[in-house]
Amino acid sequence: MHITQVHAHLHSGEFSDLIFVEVSTSDPAVSGWGECTLPGKPYAVSGAVRDAARLILGMPVDSIRRVWETAYRHSYWRGGAVETSALSGIDIALWDIAGKLAQKPVHALLGGAVRDKIKAYANCGLSTDPLELARRAQTAIDAGFQIVKFYPLPPTAALPQTSLISSVYDCCAAVRDVIGSSRDFAIDLHGRTLPHTVIAIEHAIRDLRPLWIEEPVASEDIEALSRVRRHFQVPIALGERLFTRWQFKQVLDRGLVDLIQPDVGNAGGISEMRVLADMAESYHVAFGPHSPNGLLHTCASLHCAAISQTFGALEFRPSAITNQIFDGEFPMLGADGTFPLQSTAGVGLSVQPSRLSFDDARVPRLAEHGVDGTPLDW
């Protein structure tokens, strides 16, 4: 059985544009689905899928590693967010096919799960309003989540106002009051801050016991991470904007991270997530996949979480509207904030193309500006 077609499908989801990859085979009854959403870049990623498809058409569907290496190393220009995302979507789809042919869930093909259930945390989104974040946290707790994460920081200038630190503290304190001492919260700063600012934020909130601070500075800035690391007591999480083992090696070798958060749809697919999970274990670092996109993406992430010895928690952002495009049954969150292991053959869900709808006007413009018009990090 060989690959006959690779096609990218675009959809306007509730929170972002979504990108799916469908791999067709020489058996019309067998196909696979992957997701490689890179918000704000649907045309670039779908184009990269077409570029990679030219290289792998006709290859056996079970040559997953060879397809990965071919797509990664082609045309001399390696890696990067766009090309690695395209590769990730193809890789997930091939693992989906492998599971369907074996009539086993993907985690069983990766050596089997090391746990019986998968701890999840709720992505509560961005807000600088303590009352709004407290409300969202309460909703998540009511749904069963034991961990919440939120974004309490607006786009920030190089020299932020002194009130910024107090604002972040107030948001964290409000959430801690709602969730109590038996549950946990984490904050995500999207790499928006310079070292001196995030060091002040960490010092202000550390007594509230956040589980981690995510992307305190730009993840590719090794010197800034090193400076922050020297001053932090709160664990550092990062990785959603790092791609493949070679970029993660830079932060792991230097001991700059406590929790790596690779994205199965961007970092290299299920094949590379298996490598990254093993790297995390060898460096005594936790592994917690970044997963705020579609349910297909979440399903793929669940398989990766199942096989990781140092797995911590999986990100989840529910969307009842977006969920309607999928066929199959997604695992239900338990009262203890965990998902059961998947038993469906393959990744677990497929996309119904007739339900997809893409609107260019809804592609997010991930750009922010300061009061003086300066472009700022989103």
Are the folds of 3-104 and 108-353 the same? Answer: no
b/e per residue 75-111 (b: at least 16 CB within 10 A): eeeeeebbbbbbbbbbbbbbbbbbbbbeebbbbbbbe
d(CA 190, CA 155): 9
Percent of the chain exceeding pLDDT 90 equals 87
The mean pLDDT of the chain is: 94
**Owner of token pair 């786009």:** 155
Percent of the chain exceeding pLDDT 70 equals 99
Per the residue annotation, which of 190, 196, 231, 284 is the catalytic one?
Answer: 190
Given a cut of 80, whether residue 48 has pLDDT beyond it is yes
DSSP string, 163-225: HHHHHHHHHHHHHHHHH-SSSEEEEE-TT-S-HHHHHHHHHHHGGG--S-EE-SS-TT-HHHH
Per the residue annotation, which of 9, 107, 290, 303 is the catalytic one?
Answer: 290
d(CA 17, CA 241): 17
pLDDT of residue 170: 98
pTM of the model: 0.96
pLDDT of residue 370: 78
b/e per residue 286-307 (b: at least 16 CB within 10 A): bbbbbbbbbbbbbbbbbbbbbb
Given a cut of 90, whether residue 108 has pLDDT beyond it is yes
User: Is residue 253 very low, low, confident or very high in pLDDT (cuts 50, 70, 90)?
Assistant: very high
Q: What does the pLDDT look like over 58-69, one tens digit per residue?
A: 999 999 999 999
Of 257 and 323, more confident? 257
Q: What does the pLDDT look like over 7-16, one tens digit per residue?
A: 999 999 888 8
Q: Which residues pair with 12 in a beta bridge?
A: 17
Of 75 and 225, more confident? 225
Architecture of domain 108-353: Alpha-Beta Barrel (3.20)
User: Is residue 178 very low, low, confident or very high in pLDDT (cuts 50, 70, 90)?
Assistant: very high
2 is catalytic: no
Cβ 316 vs Cβ 121: under 8 Å: yes
284 is catalytic: no
Q: What does the pLDDT look like over 298-317, one tens digit per residue?
A: 999 999 999 999 999 999 99
User: Is residue 92 very low, low, confident or very high in pLDDT (cuts 50, 70, 90)?
Assistant: very high
**Owner of token pair 């801050």:** 193
Per domain, the residue ranges of the chain are 3-104, 108-353
Given a cut of 90, whether residue 88 has pLDDT beyond it is yes
Q: What does the pLDDT look like over 123-170, one tens digit per residue?
A: 999 999 999 999 999 999 999 999 999 999 887 777 767 789 999 999
Given a cut of 90, whether residue 98 has pLDDT beyond it is yes
- 373 is written with which tokens? 């018009």
Chain centroid offset of residue 170 CA:
27
Given a cut of 80, whether residue 319 has pLDDT beyond it is no
pLDDT of residue 16: 87
The domain made up of 3-104 is a member of CATH 3.30.10.20: no
Given a cut of 90, whether residue 86 has pLDDT beyond it is yes
User: Is residue 79 very low, low, confident or very high in pLDDT (cuts 50, 70, 90)?
Assistant: confident
